[in-house]
Chain A
Amino acid sequence: MDLLVLVLQGVIIAATPLVFAAIGELVVEKSGVLNLGVEGMMIMGAIAGFSVTLETGSYILGIASAALVGALSASLFGLLTQILLSNQVATGLALTIFGLGLAALWGQGYSGESTQALGKVHIFLFSDIPIIGPLFFSYDPLIYLSVALVIGVSWFLNKTRLGLILRSIGENHDSAHAIGYSVVAVRMAAILFGGACAGLGGAYLSIIQTPLWVEGMTAGRGWIALAIVVFAAWRPGRALVGAYLFGGVTVIQLHVQGLGFEIEAQYMSMLPYLVTIIVLVVISHNKTRAALHAPACLGKPFFASS
């Protein structure tokens, strides 16, 4: 039983960077923008969070600057794609490459350094309940924030007028423009939010999950987050489930190695990525269903010609 609780805890911790990055990208895609730069924004957030925390000793400052740097990287993408109308796919890929490079440069002096991991929140009485306590009430504050963020995004998209406007812009930007909504402003806001979330995901990696800086430490998590958004059919609740599933695969992989199965470690490390590909293939198999959930204007440039 204890082992199971331990594994599940590991799953949730491994999944949280994915939750942050995926929920941010989900909002971006709902507004009709495809930002493939998640990986780059995550790593920028990771180094920003790590270096600021190390220099100032303040987790709050570190986490805040990770979100800020994530949003800043995203604003570059927003400026290029929304105002200068560059191709979203190419710009997103460039942002990833740029982010990885810049983060490596920034992190040169920090290689091998480490910080104290952020402590867990002890919730009076609840945390002491056996099994339930460790499973639900024994985490650091960011995990609670990630869950709250998913609930908040779900509420925002489905219950608020602004959420409806954002969805409508992703659905048909020409109509939204004709009715009189500012497509570019809403998309820019979504892009910045997505960047901040990716930054938080990166910071979670470098401050809490493994409190040290290693070049390229996001290791493809940004890409998995993108896959999760498709897997979730652009629904926040499912994105959370998807992130935990992928987190689960990562953790199981470690435990299988730990238990001494005779499988090459490389095969096990492949697992999350392999699962991503399989899931994407299975989902895209049914074109009609996927198309119904996908924002109709996803990735299309918008130019107000009339």
Chain B
Amino acid sequence: MTDKSLLDLSGVTKRFPGVVANDDVTFSILPGEVHALFGENGAGKSTLVKIIYGVQRPDKGEMRFDGKPYAPAKPSEARAMGIGMVFQHFSLFEALTVADNVALGMNKEAIGSNLDEQIVEVSKAYGLTLDPARYIGSLSVGERQRVEIIRCLLQKPRLLIMDEPTSVLTPQEVEILFQTLRQLSSEGCSILYISHKLEEIRELCEKATVLRGGKVVATCDPREETAKSLAEMMIGTTFKFAERQVHELGKDRLVVNNLTSVSHDPFGVDICDVSFRVRSGEIFGIGGVAGNGQVELMETLIGEITTVADSICLDGEAIGTMGPTARRERGMCSVPEERLGHGAVSDMSLWENTILSARTRKSMEKRGFLDLQIAQDFAGQVVSKFNVKTAGIDNTAKSLSGGNLQKFIVGREILQAPTVLLIMQPTWGVDAAAAADIHRTLQDMAADGAAILVISQDLEELMAISTNFAVIAEGRLSEPKPTGSQTIEEIGLLMGGVYDRLGDADEGAPA
């Protein structure tokens, strides 16, 4: 512990029923330092920052801020001390304006007489353009994050906590964010940067604390480490990244022609004239910033929203007007983004959950009755093949951790041997080793002749496994290109909504 440090944690421990989220965590942050806190999902990063921000209280251990004991009972106390936080899942209100949202996140005393002017002033000073009168619902994800950041900056923070800030940004937006953070750090504000993206941490941070299973396992200077050495610190073992396989592509399996659909959600995105094809043996990747029509596209492809018959063709058959069950019968399986509630029913057991999607393809139905034995056997198969950690198939879906449930759902679809697999965020929340497993399985399926569509926000993942690649922005799809034929800057522009007109000088990227 140094005398000069801004924030000291010593022996911080937090238990939840069944898990120790933080176990004897000790580290300190210097003034003006950009400090990375990194580890896998479930390593206890989020719990730790919630303790610092006063959302939760530690069971044991103490914190010192500025050398004085610090034990915030609620976030407003943390804010009063000069600690600001940008949440991973934004704490914003869609039906309220930017100014209202900013006001809600500030302590009453800190709000001056003219909030709108202050917002404009700060947004200019840090290069974060924002109109205080707009409704959050009409903003892009990147702009929403700005609202969060400005909310913090208005309170002149001494420590800014950023929880996984870049997972929702385009590469260009990431660059702007990093500039803002560097500017803040040069002005003396400390930044606690939470992430599991190794490259970012190496680029931005001066110091890193690595968490694994709730414990601090290493402290290092990330600039002197390689991505591989950081990854090994994070997961504790060595592992193999999936590598892209090259093989012959066969006939067209899934063909989408000028697909257009209107979203039912008032803040949703309409799908506009999307065309692409996925061939046998191909992994087609669709990247893009969250909230640009991925969910709507997926719903239309699955059949939850029906459309014009021949805008979606499966093995030559027009299936646009069919519902999900009919599409499954014809060999199209899917893994939606939301695991609980969409991919699985939380209060049903694992084997009951297999019936929901595998009923027809695994012939669990006999003369109108369900053959439960088949369902139970199938569930057991999924659990053992995909290494799902659970006490048994009678456990409910919600009893599984996020990563395990993801493995279960992905396994349930893959073991139905689909000819076309639609999969969204395949490795979201699963640990690195399991992610590599899922990637390998997808590649094996493609090698066996399946057509796979992967929609993901993780560019690295798409670059690693997809054969062809396109970007979705504001409900439009860019022209599919072989993976690796575009630079990361080009992809970034596409993600920002500049479709297929990179050479066009008249068109600027919308903010």
| B370-390 residues at the A interface, CB under 8 angstroms | none
Asked if A167 is at the interface of the complex by the 8 Å CB criterion, the answer is yes
CA distance A296 to B92 in the complex (A): 12
Within the complex, which residue of B76, B91, B264 is in contact with A175, where a contact is CB–CB below 8 Å? Answer: B91
B103 and chain A: residue at smallest CB distance: A164
Asked if B94 is at the interface of the complex by the 8 Å CB criterion, the answer is yes
Q: Report A-chain residues with C-beta under 8 Å of the C-beta of B100.
A: 164, 168
Stretch at the interface among A57-65, A209-217, A274-282, A286-294: A286-294
CA distance A291 to B264 in the complex (A): 10
Asked if B93 is at the interface of the complex by the 8 Å CB criterion, the answer is yes
Given contacts A161-B103, A175-B90, A179-B105, contact A288 B55 (CB under 8 A): no
Q: DSSP class of A's interface residues: helix, strand, loop or mixed?
A: helix
A295 and chain B: residue at smallest CB distance: B95
Q: Are A168 and B96 in contact (CB under 8 A)?
A: yes
Q: Are A172 and B92 in contact (CB under 8 A)?
A: yes
| B65-113 residues at the A interface, CB under 8 angstroms | 74-76, 79, 87, 89-96, 100, 103-105, 108
Q: Are A178 and B54 in contact (CB under 8 A)?
A: no
Q: Are B94 and A179 in contact (CB under 8 A)?
A: no
Q: Are A168 and B93 in contact (CB under 8 A)?
A: yes
Q: Are A287 and B55 in contact (CB under 8 A)?
A: no
Q: Report B-chain residues with C-beta under 8 Å of the C-beta of A289.
A: 266
Given contacts A180-B76, A306-B50, contact A171 B95 (CB under 8 A): yes
Asked if A165 is at the interface of the complex by the 8 Å CB criterion, the answer is yes
| A152-168 residues at the B interface, CB under 8 angstroms | 161, 164-165, 167-168
B443 vs chain A, min Cβ distance (A) = 36
Asked if B56 is at the interface of the complex by the 8 Å CB criterion, the answer is yes
Q: Report B-chain residues with C-beta under 8 Å of the C-beta of A175.
A: 90-93
CA distance A83 to B79 in the complex (A): 28
Within the complex, which residue of B55, B90, B96, B103 is in contact with A180, where a contact is CB–CB below 8 Å? Answer: B55
Q: Report A-chain residues with C-beta under 8 Å of the C-beta of B266.
A: 288-289, 291-292
CA distance A176 to B74 in the complex (A): 12
Q: Report B-chain residues with C-beta under 8 Å of the C-beta of A168.
A: 93, 96, 100, 104
Q: Are B264 and A167 in contact (CB under 8 A)?
A: no
Within the complex, which residue of B55, B76, B95 is in contact with A296, where a contact is CB–CB below 8 Å? Answer: B95
A167 and chain B: residue at smallest CB distance: B96
Q: How large is the interface on A (under 10, 10 to 19, 20 to 34, 35 or more residues)?
A: 20 to 34
Q: Report B-chain residues with C-beta under 8 Å of the C-beta of A292.
A: 95, 266
Within the complex, which residue of B50, B94, B108 is in contact with A161, where a contact is CB–CB below 8 Å? Answer: B108
The count of residues in chain B whose C-beta lies closer than 8 Å to any C-beta of chain A is 26
CA distance A171 to B265 in the complex (A): 15
Within the complex, which residue of A171, A180, A287, A291 is in contact with B93, where a contact is CB–CB below 8 Å? Answer: A171
Q: Report B-chain residues with C-beta under 8 Å of the C-beta of A179.
A: 75, 91, 104-105
B380 vs chain A, min Cβ distance (A) = 31
Q: Are B55 and A172 in contact (CB under 8 A)?
A: no
Q: Report B-chain residues with C-beta under 8 Å of the C-beta of A306.
A: 47, 50, 55-56
Q: Report B-chain residues with C-beta under 8 Å of the C-beta of A296.
A: 94-95
CA distance A123 to B39 in the complex (A): 73
CA distance A251 to B265 in the complex (A): 40
Q: Are B54 and A180 in contact (CB under 8 A)?
A: yes
A298 vs chain B, min Cβ distance (A) = 12
B78 and chain A: residue at smallest CB distance: A180
CA distance A164 to B102 in the complex (A): 11
Q: Are B94 and A172 in contact (CB under 8 A)?
A: yes
Contact with A along B36-57 (1 / 0, CB 8 A): 0000000000010010001110
Within the complex, which residue of A165, A171, A174, A287 is in contact with B94, where a contact is CB–CB below 8 Å? Answer: A171
Q: Report B-chain residues with C-beta under 8 Å of the C-beta of A167.
A: 93, 96
Q: Report A-chain residues with C-beta under 8 Å of the C-beta of B105.
A: 179
CA distance A167 to B50 in the complex (A): 24
Interface centre among B56, B93, B94 (most CB of A within 10 A): B93
B106 and chain A: residue at smallest CB distance: A179
B258 vs chain A, min Cβ distance (A) = 24
A180 and chain B: residue at smallest CB distance: B75
B50 and chain A: residue at smallest CB distance: A306
Q: Are B87 and A178 in contact (CB under 8 A)?
A: yes
Contact with A along B245-270 (1 / 0, CB 8 A): 00000000000000000001110000
CA distance A168 to B90 in the complex (A): 13
Within the complex, which residue of B55, B103, B264 is in contact with A178, where a contact is CB–CB below 8 Å? Answer: B55
Q: Report A-chain residues with C-beta under 8 Å of the C-beta of B74.
A: 180
Q: Report A-chain residues with C-beta under 8 Å of the C-beta of B108.
A: 161
CA distance A164 to B108 in the complex (A): 12
Interface centre among A164, A176, A289 (most CB of B within 10 A): A164
CA distance A171 to B96 in the complex (A): 9
Given contacts A168-B96, A171-B95, contact A287 B264 (CB under 8 A): yes
CA distance A287 to B267 in the complex (A): 12
Q: Report B-chain residues with C-beta under 8 Å of the C-beta of A291.
A: 265-266
Q: Which residues of A contact B (CB under 8 A)?
A: 161, 164-165, 167-168, 171-172, 174-176, 178-181, 287-289, 291-292, 296, 306
Q: Which residues of B contact A (CB under 8 A)?
A: 47, 50, 54-56, 74-76, 79, 87, 89-96, 100, 103-105, 108, 264-266
Known: A171-B95, A175-B93, A291-B265. 20 other contacts (CB 8 A): A164-B100, A164-B103, A164-B104, A165-B104, A167-B96, A171-B96, A172-B92, A172-B93, A174-B91, A175-B91, A176-B91, A179-B91, A179-B105, A180-B55, A180-B75, A180-B79, A288-B264, A296-B95, A306-B50, A306-B55
The 3 closest A-B pairs by CB, nearest first: A180-B75, A175-B91, A171-B93
14 contacts between A and B (CB under 8 A): A164-B103, A168-B100, A174-B91, A175-B91, A178-B55, A178-B87, A180-B54, A180-B55, A180-B74, A287-B264, A291-B265, A292-B266, A296-B95, A306-B47
